[in-house]
Amino acid sequence: MEPNAIYELLAAHLGDGALAFTEHPLEPWADVAPGRVADACRFLRDDPRLDFNQLMCLSGLDWDGHDAAGKGKSVAILGYSDDGQPEKSDRVATGELGVAYHLYSHALKHKFTLRLRVPRDAATVPTVSGLWSTAAWHEREAWDLLGITFAGHPDPRRMLLEEDWVGHPLRKDYVMPDLWNGVPLQGQPYCANPFPVATGGPDQPAGDKPAEG
Amino acid sequence: MANDPNVAKAAAPKRGWHDQDHVPGIKSELLELNMGPQHPATHGVLRLLLQTDGEIVYKVTPVLGYLHRCAEKIAEGVTYKQWVVYTDRFDYLAPMCCNHAYVTAVERLMGQQVPERAEHIRIAVSELSRIASHLIALATFGLDMGAWTPLLYCFREREEILNLLERISGGRMLYNYMIPGGVRYDVPNDNWVADVLDFVDLMEHNKLPEYNTLLTYNKIFIERTADVGVIDAKTALDYGCTGPVLRGSGVDFDCRRDDPYSLYHKFDWQVQVGRGEMGTVGDCWDRYIVRAREIEQSCRIIRQALQQLPDGPYQAIALKALVKVPAGAAYTRVESAKGELGHYLIADGGQTAFRNKVRSPSFCNLQVVEKVGVGQMVSDLVALVGSLDIVLGEIDR
């Protein structure tokens, strides 16, 4: 079934919970209200015309600094300065957080993408781990790395980082701490050229210039 | 040793004998046991926190993150081409498949056509990498079951593959071989194609029958793996299992055929599924045999890809050119050695990705031990984890 036909069925079920459908040549997607996503997912899974029995991927997103016009980032990503120390910034991020659900039906061989956006200071989304068990770990990862809370999650712990880690690294305004449990975290420059060659003499390989990598 | 239904029934959670004072005055409780993170049977730095009652496992809690590098954050800071090296480090047993997954995702967003010659080379090296990864899977699974010798044989053939990949890419473990728009280097002039075809013939006709004699149809091996760690098709889909784990459960699905990418549709090969020949559909032996038979299919694909290798360019974009991706978002999945490797790539028109979420197959496959591991013996849990064939580089990312 085509994505716009799926969206029509979904919109008929959800009513005002279905916000918009965006056509895109690569991957169309539907925006739903954050509070209604579990309802939407249950409908998509259980309706025999749709039968989405696999959750391919669940991604947490941070839309802060996203330039909808497609001219590149409007906000610089914090990284490390030239001496390897984490960059400091007092910029307050204001963009929304979001979650994207990619569904696939093994029987009917069609795909669908659901997206939702939640405000940064109240990022709570109902869990769908009761519908597809695989969502449990994806949601733990989204909580760990982006700080999105999943209401009703059976095991809401961090997934990859330590239990007592502070902050959520994939947020665009995340600043690496200097210390963790008394351990100094000396950052290494991860995108600077480790072999800077100023002049680019005859010995320098063609592909190693800093701008290209 | 096999999964005796009586044992499983007695081991249903919270209903065990330790709940009752069946010996007056003696208090018993569950034992917490750490399996890993440095344990050879966990295939990397995986830690499983077990609650056991004697030999029976009551609860399995995987603890991840020992290899976490937050490569997704790094993807937001480096250019599209610079990030290819990080994909090598995901599934370091089959890095070519991970390269292929990432460049496919980038090219799809760019709308970039890839020269046919480049796609043929990519398919050949990806399938060689898949064979190398499956050889490790067979070898270490045998090792987990107490079979030492197949490990040495499998590594002998893997060594041949590494030599071949070294000749085309320059690296033995981490290749950084593919770039958006093609591959870094053309096929070398030193008879590489003929050598690969020779190796593929040898693998298919001599080596696989050898493994079958050594391990596959070995009575002890079958006793240890048949009817053990059964994952039925419904559970596998519910837990998002993909790749040989899903196919071992009898679900006929392969991204290479059902969600076509690259040029796999041109070639003649078959998807292998578990049929429960030695026990139940979805047991450890089924997952093992799916991998063994996929080696044979990969040999067929490599033979066709290289025999039909067309002339022409091997890069659509010059190596030094900067890759710019127009704004957009798409989820692209390919079949890596472990299963469905997906990239949800959001581009905003700049030189770096806005967000790159990696859906790694091992991450999703491992979760199933939380359900299937319960009620097993500890030694059968080792068989289950071994048959899932996880690699921690792509679980922790």
Gap from A46 CA to chain B (nearest CA, Å): 13
Residue with tokens 């960059």: A87
Is A30 within a domain?
yes
Residue B70 CA, distance from chain mean position: 20
Cβ neighbours around A23 below 10 Å, total: 9
Rg (CA), chain B: 22
Buried b (16+ CB within 10 A) or exposed e, A56-87: bbbbbbbbbbbeeeeeebebebbbbeeeeebe
Please give the residue range of the domain that contains residue A33: 3-65+96-175
Tell me which H or E stretch contains B359: strand B353-359
- Give the architecture-level CATH label for domain B81-323: Orthogonal Bundle (1.10)
What contacts A12, CB < 8 A, 6 or more positions away? Answer: none
**Tokens found for residue A162:** 């330590």
Q: Hey, is the C-beta of A157 within 8 angstroms of any chain B C-beta?
A: no
| Residue in chain A lying closest to B340 (CA) | A56
What is the CATH number for A50?
A: 3.30.460.80
Residue B324 in contact with partner chain A when CB distance is under 8 A: no
A77/B contact by beta carbon, under 8 A = yes
Counted domains in chain A? 1
- CB contact, 8 Å: A206 with chain B? yes
When pLDDT is averaged across residues B39-46 and rounded to a whole number, the result is 74
pLDDT score, position B1? 39
Tens-level pLDDT at each residue, chain A (213 residues):
888 888 888 888 888 888 888 888 888 999 999 988 998 999 999 988 888 999 999 999 988 878 777 666 655 556 566 665 656 667 777 788 999 999 999 988 889 999 999 998 888 999 999 899 999 999 999 999 998 999 989 888 898 988 888 888 888 878 777 777 877 666 555 445 555 555 555 554 444 444 444
CA-to-CA distance for B300 and A130, rounded, in angstroms? 41
Please give the pLDDT value at position A188.
53
From the list A24, A109, A161, which residue is nearest B258 (CB)?
A109
In degrees, rounded to 5, the angle at the alpha carbon of residue B90 between the alpha carbons of residues B241 and B48 is 60
In a domain, A91, yes or no: no
Q: What is the mean pLDDT of chain B?
A: 86
Question: Given this model, what pLDDT does residue B7 score?
Answer: 45
β-partners of residue B352 are B79
Q: In chain B, which residue's Cα lies nearest the Cα of A135?
A: B239
Q: Does B318 touch chain A (CB under 8 A)?
A: no
Whether A212 sits inside 8 A of B322 (CB atoms) is yes
Phi, psi dihedral angles at B66 (to 5 degrees) = -70, -20
Give a yes or no: residue A47 inside a domain: yes
Residue A112's H or E segment, with its range, is: strand A111-118
Are B2 and B226 in contact by the 8 Å Cβ rule? The answer is: yes
Contact yes or no for B344 and A106 at CB 8 A: no
Angle, vertex CA A127, rays to CA A123 and CA A131, nearest 5: 155
Kindly identify which residue of chain A lies nearest to residue B68, measuring between CA atoms: A160
Is A57:A138 a contact under the CB 8 Å cutoff? yes
**Each residue of B59-70: pLDDT tens digit?**
899 998 888 888
CA distances from A139 to B193, B340, B372 (A): 45, 19, 21
Collapsed DSSP state (helix, strand, coil) of residue B324: coil
B389: pLDDT strictly greater than 80: yes
The DSSP 8-state label assigned to residue A70 in this structure reads: S
3-state secondary structure of B32: strand
More reliable by pLDDT, A19 or B296: B296
Residue A90 lies in a domain: no
Name which of B64, B77, B238 is nearest A160 (Cβ-Cβ).
B64
Tell me which residue in B322, B328, B340 faces A26 most closely, judged by beta carbons: B328
Backbone phi and psi for residue B386, each to the nearest 5 degrees, phi listed first: -65, -40
- Secondary structure string (H, E, C) spanning B134-181: HHHHHHHHHHHCCCCHHHHHHHHHHHHHHHHHHHHHCCCCCCCCEECC
pLDDT of res. A26: 86
Q: Which residues of B touch A60 (CB under 8 A)?
A: 357
* 3-class SS shares of chain B: helix, strand, coil, % to 5: 45, 15, 40
Interface of B with A in 94-153 (CB under 8 A): 108-109
Residue A113 domain flag: yes
| Pick from B64, B240, B348: CB nearest A70 | B348
CB atoms near residue B318 (< 10 Å):
9
Q: CB B53: neighbour CB atoms within 10 A?
A: 17
CA-closest candidate to residue A58, choices A170, A153, A142, A147: A142
**Contact list, B397 vs chain A (CB under 8 Å):** 160
Specify the pLDDT at position B118: 92
Tell me how far CA of residue B297 lies from CA of A100, B195, B268, B301, B308, in angstroms: 35, 18, 9, 6, 17
Among residues 17-76 of chain B, which lie with CB inside 8 Å of chain A? 64-65, 68, 70, 72-74, 76
**pLDDT band, residue B76 (cuts 50/70/90):** confident
pLDDT, position B67: 87
Which residue is closest to A207 within chain B, CA to CA? B320
pLDDT of residue B289: 92
Rounded to an integer, what distance in angstroms lies between the CA atom of residue B63 and that of residue A157? 11
The whole-number pLDDT of residue B130 equals 93
Question: Given A53, A73, A132, which is nearest B354 (Cβ)?
Answer: A73
Instruction: Summarize pLDDT for B232-245 with one digit per residue, the tens.
Output: 999 999 998 999 99
Contact B49, B61 (CB under 8 A): yes
Q: Note the ipTM here.
A: 0.84
Q: A 45-74 residues with CB below 8 A of B? A: 53-57, 59-62, 66-73
Of B14-23, B186-195, B374-383, which range is least confident?
Answer: B14-23
The answer as to whether A144 is a domain residue is: yes
Inter-chain touch A134–B79, beta carbons under 8 Å: no
B394 min Cα distance to partner chain A (Å)? 12
Q: Exposed, middle or buried: residue A196 (CB in 10 Å: 0-12, 13-18, 19+)?
A: exposed
Contact (CB<8Å) A72/B322: no
Please state which of the ranges A104-108, A178-182, B361-365, B392-396 shows the lowest mean pLDDT: A178-182
- Cα–Cα distance between B263 and B298 in angstroms, integer? 14
What predicted TM-score, i.e. pTM, was given to this entire model?
Answer: 0.85
